Amino acid sequence: MLDIRPLTPTIGAEIHGIDLAHLCDDGTWAELGKAFIQHKVLFFRDQHITTDQHVEFCRQFGELEVHPFVPSKKGYPEVMGLISNEARPGNENTWHSDVTWRQEPSLGSMLRAIELPDNGGDTLFADMEAAFNGLDQQTRERLVGLVAVHDFTRVFGSGKTPDQLADLRQKYPPAEHPVMRTHPVTGRLSIYVNAAFTSHIVGMASDESAALLALLYRQATIPEYQCRFRWAPDSFALWDNRCAQHYAVSDYWPATRRMERVTIAGDRPC
């Protein structure tokens, strides 16, 4: 049996008693899947595995994504290399869910720590189901039927020419997703907008849209909905992008923080 140690009542759990170098048997996989849905973010420590094993573990969840804007590890198109250092300060310190600008955003992501600063560089995760439940009833009712636009250019558009942006928009047009998402496994509701990729709410006046989005973004910042993970080399975090957001704390400059991420393809939110 797995040794599951929750970090908070609603989000985050460290998983012990598993070796990610080996594919899970049916019983372990079922137990792990249940923990993933229940805790939303799973953490694994001291996992001395290869890149191939990292990829194969994630592939058990489904098809893997290749990110069009972030460089991949040589020989591994599914593995994103995330490096911050003196020349490239970390810029993931915004609450977000990965690739919500896709028409079918990701199911989840699995991040590995390769090289870490002596201090700092933690990652925070927010339970967006708890964040939704923390809204007052009037606001929850207000979200019914609302749709928001998610746009890659808000993060990945800088430095590109108008022609390049036009070509990329043909491949990755702005996506419209419900502001209030239903989890496809549990049926639970969560807030599904984020400060990184969401531009506006469809059919709403710009000032009203901005005010409502700001209120929803703030829900992710409430500590009672969060857990925090302190990394060590060969630690992994596996999170559910459908109901969790994350924030990589950029408090370690000019030190180096080097990570590798594999992202699991998902389906269209409803």
Catalytic residue numbers, as ranges: 96, 98, 246, 261
Torsion of CA 225, 138, 207, 226, to 10 degrees: 0
User: What is d(CA 130, CA 182) in angstroms, rounded to the nearest whole number?
Assistant: 13
- 254: cis peptide before it, omega within 30°? yes
Which whole-number Å values give the CA distances from 157 to 78, 172, 226, in the listed order?
Answer: 21, 12, 29
* DSSP assignment letter at 190: E
Sign for the CA dihedral angle at 92, 95, 96, 97 comes to positive
For 188-219, give one letter per residue: b (16+ CB within 10 A) or e.
bbbbbbbbbbbebbeebeeeebeebbeebbeb
Q: Are 44 and 20 in contact (CB under 8 A)?
A: yes
Total Cβ atoms within 10 A of residue 146: 16
